[in-house]
Amino acid sequence: MNSSFAETDNDFIFRRRDRKTSYRGTSMMGSALRNTKNLLLFIFLVAIFCLLWVPKDNLRRMANENRKNNSTMSFRLPVSAEDWCAVPKLPPFDYSQCKDKVSINKLPLYGGLTNSLKIMLLGAVLSFEEDRCFVVDESTSALPKRESPEDSFNTSFYNRYFSPVGLPSHTLASTNLTVQTRGWEETWGNWSHNRRIKSQLNTIDSLGLKSIDGHSLKRYVMKRLWRPLPWLRKSACAKLENQLGRHAQRRGRTSEDEFIAFSVRRGDKASENFTFASLDQYIIAAEKAAVTHFHGGRNETDIYSNPKKMPTIFVATDDCTVMGDFRSRRPHWNFVSECDDNTNHQSNNGFRINDMKRWDSEATDAHFRKFMVELIAMASAKYFIGVLYTNVTWWVLFMRSQDPSTFKIL
């Protein structure tokens, strides 16, 4: 037997048969090939039928589930929540590695939490650009100030909720370096450079960043610098998962469904002479977003007549009275909010920073647990609707990785 046929004995026998048998064998092979093609065509048609038959909501959930199987996030939330509900992927900064051995920067915290975060972020970027070490200074901040001594913070207010940023505060007292204060006037107030606007290209040699636009720079530094402590991150994400899932069950939805987030800021912003956006403006913007980004209907009129096409709306607000107003305007929409949880530190007239000095530690923790849930919800929402007159909007912009078209300012 020819060795070339040793592994295909049946083929060898087939070739040795007479011409008539050979033709019959060829006919059988052609039939088998045709049957294979028909089978493949049948499988293809069945797949097309399944795609058309399976409801789109189910397909989305299946896709979400598949992505979550490859995710490090343990919460049943939209995949967009992974940036803040999973263990951070980017490493933290080593704040001790600085080439400048002459000076050190002091970054004071100003105003409420998100304003303080904004100024701290810009000050940190400036310090990295100078390759200079820095310290975050809370000594003049309103955040830790309390009227009652027993309610005062024994350690850092910031470090109570977030991983430390910069060198320890006691460094300022012991250093021989020249201390330079980098306040908000020099960072946020410097529009031409230190504010890091989107169109500005930046090179930060100490971070290995070349010609990076201002927004991408701030987003990158934020994710390495601002790190909610694990207990806060996990509790906030679990709470968000529960809120979205519990309120959506009656409509056949889950916590993994994509949703819209509102940011409604009231409180002490009235004293700054801002005109608040009306609740109707939020509703109109949400109806448009449902059409353009959620395929909820042909137009806003279609959404109004068929509210089941409207995605869930998470309302982040410092004034819980707006929830009743929203629900009276659209009683068939699914509004979700931390205001629905009676255990939270709630306000019916909005946040006022001067009120904080009368809070005890329990009220402070409750407030910032609520706020963390809201921040992650706004960052994770498929579509965000906010206002220009709050630093919350500014901070959420850089927490988000979604398409800029999903970010609406009223």
Q: Which of 295, 287, 292, 291 is nearest to 313 (CA)?
A: 287
* Mean pLDDT across 195-211: 96
* pLDDT for the residue numbered 246: 83
The answer to whether residue 386 scores a pLDDT higher than 70 is: yes
Of 78-87, 259-268, 303-312, least confident by mean pLDDT is 303-312
* Mean pLDDT across 210-223: 97
* pLDDT for the residue numbered 62: 45
The answer to whether residue 7 scores a pLDDT higher than 70 is: no
* pLDDT for the residue numbered 299: 67
Q: Higher pLDDT residue, 374 or 310?
A: 374
Confirm if 196 and 214 have CB atoms less than 8 A apart: yes
CA distances from 85 to 186, 196, 261 (A): 33, 27, 17
CB-side exposure of 96: number of CA atoms within 13 Å?
A: 2
**235: enclosing H helix or E strand:** helix 230-248
* pLDDT for the residue numbered 22: 39
CA distances from 201 to 42, 108, 196 (A): 55, 26, 8
Number of Cβ atoms within 10 Å of the Cβ of 268: 16
Confirm if 339 and 377 have CB atoms less than 8 A apart: no
183-194 pLDDT, tens digit each: 999 999 999 999
Confirm if 376 and 238 have CB atoms less than 8 A apart: no
Q: Higher pLDDT residue, 363 or 275?
A: 363
Confidence of residue 175 (pLDDT cuts 50, 70, 90): confident
* Mean pLDDT across 153-170: 92
332-375 pLDDT, tens digit each: 999 999 998 866 655 667 787 888 899 999 999 999 999 999 99
Confidence of residue 378 (pLDDT cuts 50, 70, 90): very high
Long-range contacts of 340-349 (CB under 8 A, 24+ apart): 340/243, 340/247, 341/239, 341/243, 341/370, 344/369, 344/370, 345/370, 346/320, 346/370, 347/267, 347/318, 347/319, 347/320, 348/319, 348/320, 348/321, 349/266, 349/267, 349/319, 349/321
